Amino acid sequence: DDPAPLLSVRGAVKNYGLVQALRGADLTVGRGEVHGLLGANGAGKSTLVKILAGLAKPDEGDFAIDGAPFRPGSIREAAAAGVRLAHQELAIVPALSVRQNLHLGRYLHPELAGAKERERAYTELFEEWGLDISLDAVMRELSPAHQATVALAKTLVGSGRLLILDEPTASLGPKEVSGLFSIIRRRVEAGAGVIFVSHRLGEVSRLCDAITVLRNGQRVHDGPMEGVDEHALADLIAHDAG
Protein backbone atom coordinates (compact mmCIF):
# COMPACT_ATOMS: atom_id res chain seq x y z
CA ASP A 1 0.00 0.00 0.00
CA ASP A 2 1.04 3.59 -0.59
CA PRO A 3 1.81 5.39 2.64
CA ALA A 4 -0.60 8.18 3.52
CA PRO A 5 0.39 11.57 2.12
CA LEU A 6 1.53 14.36 4.43
CA LEU A 7 -1.78 16.18 3.96
CA SER A 8 -5.05 14.90 2.61
CA VAL A 9 -8.18 17.06 2.32
CA ARG A 10 -11.35 15.54 0.88
CA GLY A 11 -14.62 17.34 0.33
CA ALA A 12 -13.92 20.51 2.31
CA VAL A 13 -17.03 22.66 2.66
CA LYS A 14 -17.12 26.11 4.24
CA ASN A 15 -19.99 28.58 4.08
CA TYR A 16 -19.94 32.15 5.32
CA GLY A 17 -23.66 32.81 5.54
CA LEU A 18 -24.86 32.51 1.96
CA VAL A 19 -21.34 32.65 0.52
CA GLN A 20 -20.02 29.18 -0.34
CA ALA A 21 -16.27 29.69 0.06
CA LEU A 22 -15.47 25.96 -0.32
CA ARG A 23 -17.81 23.52 -2.07
CA GLY A 24 -16.16 20.13 -1.61
CA ALA A 25 -12.52 21.05 -2.20
CA ASP A 26 -9.75 18.42 -2.31
CA LEU A 27 -6.03 18.87 -1.74
CA THR A 28 -3.17 16.39 -1.40
CA VAL A 29 0.35 17.47 -0.42
CA GLY A 30 3.30 15.09 -0.26
CA ARG A 31 6.35 15.15 1.97
CA GLY A 32 9.31 16.93 0.42
CA GLU A 33 7.04 18.85 -1.91
CA VAL A 34 6.39 22.53 -2.56
CA HIS A 35 2.75 22.57 -3.55
CA GLY A 36 1.33 25.63 -5.27
CA LEU A 37 -2.27 26.48 -4.34
CA LEU A 38 -3.68 28.63 -7.11
CA GLY A 39 -6.94 30.20 -8.12
CA ALA A 40 -8.59 33.50 -8.97
CA ASN A 41 -9.61 35.97 -6.26
CA GLY A 42 -12.34 34.38 -4.17
CA ALA A 43 -11.59 30.81 -5.33
CA GLY A 44 -11.24 29.67 -1.72
CA LYS A 45 -7.46 29.44 -1.21
CA SER A 46 -7.27 31.52 1.96
CA THR A 47 -10.33 29.81 3.43
CA LEU A 48 -8.74 26.39 2.93
CA VAL A 49 -5.40 27.33 4.46
CA LYS A 50 -7.10 29.07 7.38
CA ILE A 51 -8.92 25.82 8.16
CA LEU A 52 -5.62 23.92 8.08
CA ALA A 53 -4.04 26.48 10.41
CA GLY A 54 -6.86 26.34 12.96
CA LEU A 55 -8.17 29.82 12.12
CA ALA A 56 -11.49 28.71 10.64
CA LYS A 57 -13.78 25.73 11.16
CA PRO A 58 -14.95 23.69 8.18
CA ASP A 59 -18.63 22.74 7.84
CA GLU A 60 -17.71 19.40 6.24
CA GLY A 61 -14.73 17.46 4.98
CA ASP A 62 -12.12 14.84 5.83
CA PHE A 63 -8.74 16.25 6.84
CA ALA A 64 -5.71 14.09 7.65
CA ILE A 65 -2.03 14.64 8.41
CA ASP A 66 0.16 11.55 7.88
CA GLY A 67 -3.06 9.54 7.71
CA ALA A 68 -4.37 10.70 11.10
CA PRO A 69 -7.55 12.81 11.33
CA PHE A 70 -6.72 16.49 11.73
CA ARG A 71 -9.21 19.15 12.83
CA PRO A 72 -7.26 21.86 14.65
CA GLY A 73 -9.40 24.06 16.90
CA SER A 74 -6.83 26.86 17.17
CA ILE A 75 -3.54 28.12 15.73
CA ARG A 76 -1.87 26.61 18.77
CA GLU A 77 -3.27 23.14 18.08
CA ALA A 78 -2.28 23.31 14.41
CA ALA A 79 1.22 24.48 15.34
CA ALA A 80 1.58 21.66 17.86
CA ALA A 81 0.82 19.23 15.02
CA GLY A 82 3.57 20.93 12.97
CA VAL A 83 1.21 22.87 10.69
CA ARG A 84 2.18 26.54 10.51
CA LEU A 85 0.69 29.38 8.52
CA ALA A 86 2.34 32.61 7.49
CA HIS A 87 -0.32 35.08 6.53
CA GLN A 88 -0.28 38.83 6.09
CA GLU A 89 -3.04 39.28 8.64
CA LEU A 90 -0.94 37.54 11.30
CA ALA A 91 1.06 40.70 11.68
CA ILE A 92 3.86 41.83 13.90
CA VAL A 93 3.64 44.44 16.67
CA PRO A 94 5.34 47.59 15.33
CA ALA A 95 6.12 49.16 18.72
CA LEU A 96 8.00 46.10 20.01
CA SER A 97 11.51 44.94 19.25
CA VAL A 98 12.26 42.10 16.84
CA ARG A 99 13.17 39.96 19.86
CA GLN A 100 9.86 40.68 21.63
CA ASN A 101 7.92 39.92 18.45
CA LEU A 102 9.72 36.62 18.01
CA HIS A 103 9.05 35.56 21.59
CA LEU A 104 5.37 36.48 21.14
CA GLY A 105 5.30 33.85 18.38
CA ARG A 106 6.74 31.12 20.60
CA TYR A 107 3.54 29.03 20.57
CA LEU A 108 4.09 28.57 16.81
CA HIS A 109 7.11 26.36 17.44
CA PRO A 110 6.76 24.60 20.79
CA GLU A 111 9.81 22.45 19.95
CA LEU A 112 12.07 25.49 20.54
CA ALA A 113 11.68 25.37 24.28
CA GLY A 114 13.72 28.18 25.82
CA ALA A 115 14.33 31.84 24.96
CA LYS A 116 18.02 31.15 24.21
CA GLU A 117 17.29 28.25 21.88
CA ARG A 118 14.63 30.33 20.13
CA GLU A 119 16.92 33.33 19.63
CA ARG A 120 19.70 31.11 18.31
CA ALA A 121 17.30 29.50 15.81
CA TYR A 122 16.11 32.91 14.60
CA THR A 123 19.65 34.27 14.33
CA GLU A 124 20.63 31.24 12.24
CA LEU A 125 17.55 31.64 10.06
CA PHE A 126 18.30 35.32 9.38
CA GLU A 127 21.89 34.35 8.46
CA GLU A 128 20.65 31.57 6.20
CA TRP A 129 18.41 34.18 4.59
CA GLY A 130 21.27 36.65 4.14
CA LEU A 131 19.49 39.25 6.29
CA ASP A 132 21.18 41.68 8.62
CA ILE A 133 18.46 42.09 11.25
CA SER A 134 19.27 42.94 14.84
CA LEU A 135 17.02 41.34 17.44
CA ASP A 136 17.17 44.66 19.31
CA ALA A 137 15.73 46.71 16.45
CA VAL A 138 12.24 48.13 16.90
CA MET A 139 9.96 46.60 14.28
CA ARG A 140 8.56 49.90 12.98
CA GLU A 141 12.10 51.11 12.24
CA LEU A 142 12.76 48.20 9.87
CA SER A 143 12.03 48.43 6.15
CA PRO A 144 8.66 46.96 5.07
CA ALA A 145 10.55 44.07 3.45
CA HIS A 146 12.45 43.30 6.66
CA GLN A 147 9.23 43.53 8.70
CA ALA A 148 7.71 40.96 6.36
CA THR A 149 10.71 38.64 6.72
CA VAL A 150 10.41 38.76 10.53
CA ALA A 151 6.73 37.77 10.24
CA LEU A 152 7.64 34.91 7.88
CA ALA A 153 10.51 33.81 10.13
CA LYS A 154 7.99 32.93 12.83
CA THR A 155 6.61 30.24 10.51
CA LEU A 156 9.90 29.08 8.99
CA VAL A 157 11.91 28.62 12.18
CA GLY A 158 11.88 25.26 13.95
CA SER A 159 10.73 21.92 12.63
CA GLY A 160 7.28 22.40 11.10
CA ARG A 161 5.98 19.50 9.00
CA LEU A 162 3.62 21.51 6.86
CA LEU A 163 4.50 25.14 6.23
CA ILE A 164 1.78 27.23 4.64
CA LEU A 165 2.89 30.47 3.03
CA ASP A 166 -0.01 32.65 1.86
CA GLU A 167 1.31 35.28 -0.58
CA PRO A 168 4.67 35.36 1.22
CA THR A 169 6.54 37.46 -1.33
CA ALA A 170 4.09 40.38 -1.55
CA SER A 171 6.32 42.80 0.41
CA LEU A 172 9.71 41.30 -0.44
CA GLY A 173 12.42 42.44 -2.84
CA PRO A 174 14.22 40.04 -5.24
CA LYS A 175 17.04 39.37 -2.77
CA GLU A 176 14.67 38.41 0.05
CA VAL A 177 12.65 36.25 -2.36
CA SER A 178 15.78 34.31 -3.44
CA GLY A 179 16.74 33.76 0.18
CA LEU A 180 13.22 32.65 1.05
CA PHE A 181 13.14 30.17 -1.84
CA SER A 182 16.44 28.57 -0.84
CA ILE A 183 15.17 28.24 2.74
CA ILE A 184 11.97 26.63 1.43
CA ARG A 185 14.02 24.20 -0.70
CA ARG A 186 16.08 23.22 2.34
CA ARG A 187 12.95 22.61 4.41
CA VAL A 188 11.45 20.31 1.79
CA GLU A 189 14.76 18.49 1.33
CA ALA A 190 14.54 17.79 5.06
CA GLY A 191 11.09 16.24 4.50
CA ALA A 192 8.67 19.07 5.20
CA GLY A 193 5.79 19.91 2.88
CA VAL A 194 5.09 23.48 1.83
CA ILE A 195 1.87 25.01 0.52
CA PHE A 196 2.68 28.10 -1.51
CA VAL A 197 -0.32 30.35 -2.20
CA SER A 198 0.45 32.92 -4.85
CA HIS A 199 -0.82 34.89 -7.81
CA ARG A 200 2.74 35.33 -9.08
CA LEU A 201 2.95 32.64 -11.73
CA GLY A 202 6.64 33.19 -12.42
CA GLU A 203 7.40 32.40 -8.78
CA VAL A 204 5.06 29.41 -8.85
CA SER A 205 6.81 27.85 -11.84
CA ARG A 206 10.23 28.60 -10.37
CA LEU A 207 9.49 27.11 -6.95
CA CYS A 208 6.68 24.57 -6.99
CA ASP A 209 6.88 20.81 -7.59
CA ALA A 210 3.13 20.35 -7.95
CA ILE A 211 0.02 22.48 -8.09
CA THR A 212 -3.65 22.47 -7.19
CA VAL A 213 -6.00 24.93 -8.84
CA LEU A 214 -9.23 25.93 -7.09
CA ARG A 215 -12.18 27.48 -8.84
CA ASN A 216 -15.39 28.48 -7.06
CA GLY A 217 -14.41 26.47 -4.01
CA GLN A 218 -13.57 23.24 -5.84
CA ARG A 219 -10.43 21.65 -7.20
CA VAL A 220 -10.33 21.86 -10.98
CA HIS A 221 -6.74 20.69 -11.53
CA ASP A 222 -3.93 18.96 -9.67
CA GLY A 223 -0.68 17.55 -10.90
CA PRO A 224 3.05 18.10 -11.27
CA MET A 225 4.43 21.51 -12.18
CA GLU A 226 6.67 19.97 -14.80
CA GLY A 227 5.43 20.54 -18.31
CA VAL A 228 2.99 23.29 -17.28
CA ASP A 229 4.14 26.70 -18.48
CA GLU A 230 2.93 30.07 -17.25
CA HIS A 231 0.37 30.40 -20.05
CA ALA A 232 -1.14 27.03 -19.24
CA LEU A 233 -1.26 28.04 -15.57
CA ALA A 234 -3.03 31.28 -16.40
CA ASP A 235 -5.59 29.31 -18.46
CA LEU A 236 -6.19 26.89 -15.59
CA ILE A 237 -6.78 29.75 -13.16
CA ALA A 238 -8.89 32.02 -15.34
CA HIS A 239 -12.56 31.49 -14.89
CA ASP A 240 -15.40 32.56 -17.09
CA ALA A 241 -17.32 35.44 -15.60
CA GLY A 242 -20.98 34.82 -14.87
Binding site for ligand ATP (CB under 6 A): 16, 19, 21, 39, 41-47
CA distances from 146 to 57, 92, 132, 139, 225 (A): 32, 11, 9, 9, 30
Q: Which is nearer to ligand ATP, 44 or 179 (CB)?
A: 44
Distance CA 151, CA 91 (A): 7
Q: Output 15 or 123, the one with its CB closest to ligand ATP.
A: 15
Cβ at position 50, least distance to ligand ATP in Å: 8
Least distance to ligand ATP from the beta carbon of 15, Å? 9
* 162-166 vs 193-197, strand pairing mode: parallel
The strand ranges marked E within the chain are: 7-16, 19-29, 34-38, 60-65, 68-69, 83-86, 162-166, 193-197, 210-215, 218-224
Q: How far is the CB of 11 from ligand ATP (least distance, A)?
A: 16
Q: Is residue 149 packed enough to be buried (19+ CB in 10 Å), middle (13-18) or exposed (0-12)?
A: buried
Nearer to ligand ATP, 49 or 180 (CB): 49
- Closest CB to ligand ATP among 43 and 163? 43
Distance CA 130, CA 177 (A): 11
> From the CB of 66, what's the least distance to ligand ATP, in Å?
25
The closest alpha carbon to 161, from 4, 2, 11, belongs to: 4
Tell the smallest beta-carbon distance from residue 53 to ligand ATP (Å).
13
Which residue lies nearer to ligand ATP by CB, 130 or 202?
Answer: 202
